[in-house]
Structure 1
Amino acid sequence: MLVFVEVRLRADRSHGGAAASVTPAKQRKLILAAQHYLQRYRMPPACRFDVIAIDGNETAWIRDAIVT
């Protein structure tokens, strides 16, 4: 399993927090980058997209955060 990880940091949640900052536009960019990377494989491995969201002192690991 190949895991692509997006790490987002926010000092606080006043603007929605770190997880909320992974917008649909950002998700599309991540998917396109992953597709480009996976072109090097004849048989691409299974993969998923996770997000590590850091809000101040709190950290959350969101597995399968982006569904393709």
Structure 2
Amino acid sequence: MQAKTNDTTVARGREAESEAAAYLAGRGLRLLERNFRVRGGEIDLIMQDGPTVVFVEVRARSRSDFGDAGASIDAFKQGRIVLAARHWLARHGECACRFDCVLIDDGRLRWLRNAFAGDH
């Protein structure tokens, strides 16, 4: 039964990422890459906002039993995102960048620009 729970969680995560990507695209950002992974880190969405590369963490919660969607993006998680961003930048070239979060709580989407700094 565990696999079914994980499959459902993965499917919901992909759906949230697609919703976030569409929302950001509707605000002028261009999708560069999804689910960029390196050893020790992952970035859900990498978007282009004019000259700025935006590394986006997407979190969705249908219930608030354990806090809102943003509650789980702690310093450790931020560090994993920054690590992956450094790898991406090493491959694609240094440029202006920022770290955003798209939080979806009970179907309500919030976009947090410059959600955290990349100096972890």
Scaled by the length of structure 2, what TM-score is found? 0.53
What is the SS of the residue equivalent to 1:52?
strand
2:109 corresponding residue in structure 1: 59
What does residue range 18-29 of structure 1 map to in structure 2 within 5 Å? 18-29=69-80
Structure with greater helix percent: 2
Q: Could you tell which deviates more after superposition, 28-37 or 13-22?
A: 13-22
Runs of at least 5 residues in structure 2 that lack an aligned partner in the other structure: 1-51
Deviation at 1:14, TM superposition (A): 1.9
Q: Distance in 2 between matches of 1:39 and 1:61?
A: 26
Deviation at 1:10, TM superposition (A): 0.6
1:2 corresponding residue in structure 2: 53
Q: Distance in 1 between matches of 2:96 and 2:108?
A: 29
Higher RCO (CA 8 Å, separation ≥ 6 residues) = 1
The alignment-based identity, stated in percent, is 43
Number of equivalenced pairs: 67
Q: Distance in 2 between matches of 1:32 and 1:51?
A: 16
RMSD: 1.1
Q: Which runs of 4+ in 1 moved over 3 A?
A: none
Write out per-residue CA displacement over residues 19-54 of structure 1, whole angstroms, 9 at most, x where no aligned residue.
111111110000000001111244x11000000000
